[in-house]
Amino acid sequence: MVLPDGFALPPLLYLLPLLLAVGVVLWLLWEAEPTIGERTVVSLAPWMVVGAGFNALHQLPNSPVPDVIDPLFGTPSVYLTTFVLVGIVWLLAIHQLRTPVPRALAGVGLVGVALVLVVALWFGIEHDSLRLFWPFVALVVAVILTGMLWAATQFFYPDVAIITGAVGVLTLFAHALDGVSTAVGIDVLGFGEQTPLSRAILEIAHSIPAGDSLGVGWLFVLVKLAIAEFVVLLFADYVASEPTEGYLLLGVVAAVGLGPGAHNLILFAITG
């Protein structure tokens, strides 16, 4: 199995219009030829959290997401839904709104994050399942690890730090959050891992002497941090030579970490 648990396409009644919307938005963005730089990619970070949050709410037994739109937030449809929403805001910012695109994307995205968090908190309180301690610990540890790794990057590879900038920091934080939240979920809260590749890494940790006594999540954290740092170093030259494509691809790498990490924190916080 290479697909994560819970991977299922929505009914055709939802899938076909969703694919059509993706195609239209993609074509309109292609025609608009938007400028994509460091600030634009960073401004997409809140949307990664929005998509992850709605997917987490979708997975709840008594999901607070209305039934009529709930299929749009499963896996993988949530990625397409989030893209359509981002694209609409992006196009409006280009053609209608009198504000820079990064500011519009970040502003609306943060409103979406606030909405997701309010719904999640309400659900946790309503079902007496709100537990914020360990998600908060995971967030703090991820921030600390990101700071340490970025400081090391600035010291040993100053040119890389300058070139990748905020997108480099976002990438490191995204995968630190995914790694730490997964470790907390596995070793402390008793959650399982949905992604086959991640499960393989955890199985390796189980096979290491003293792995079970020390916990298995630590290996996952190390692997995620190593991969993130390697990617940032690898992409530096590409970002320098092709900023648009380089920043965009590095942003995709960040999304692969930030989405699951945010999903973990929200799910852990409201499922007791």
- Residues 59-116 have pLDDT tens digits of 998 899 999 999 999 989 999 999 999 999 999 999 887 789 999 999 999 999 999 9
8 Å CB contact between 43 and 103: yes
CA–CA separation, 177 vs 172, rounded Å? Answer: 9
Q: What is the pLDDT of residue 120?
A: 97
The mean pLDDT value for 155-182 works out to 96
- Report how far Cα 85 is from the mean position of its chain's Cα atoms: 16
Q: What is the pLDDT of residue 217?
A: 76
The mean pLDDT value for 171-186 works out to 94
Query: Whole-number mean pLDDT of the chain?
Result: 90
pLDDT band at 2 (very low <50, low <70, confident <90, very high): very low
Q: What is the pLDDT of residue 140?
A: 98
pLDDT band at 1 (very low <50, low <70, confident <90, very high): very low
- pLDDT of 194 over the 70 cut: no
pTM over 0.95: no
- pLDDT of 213 over the 70 cut: no
Q: What is the pLDDT of residue 3?
A: 44
Q: Which residue has the higher pLDDT, 202 or 24?
A: 24
How big is the CA angle at 150 (ends 223 and 101), to the nearest 5 degrees? 105
**How many beta carbons lie within 10 A of that of residue 242, not counting itself?**
12
- pLDDT of 272 over the 90 cut: no
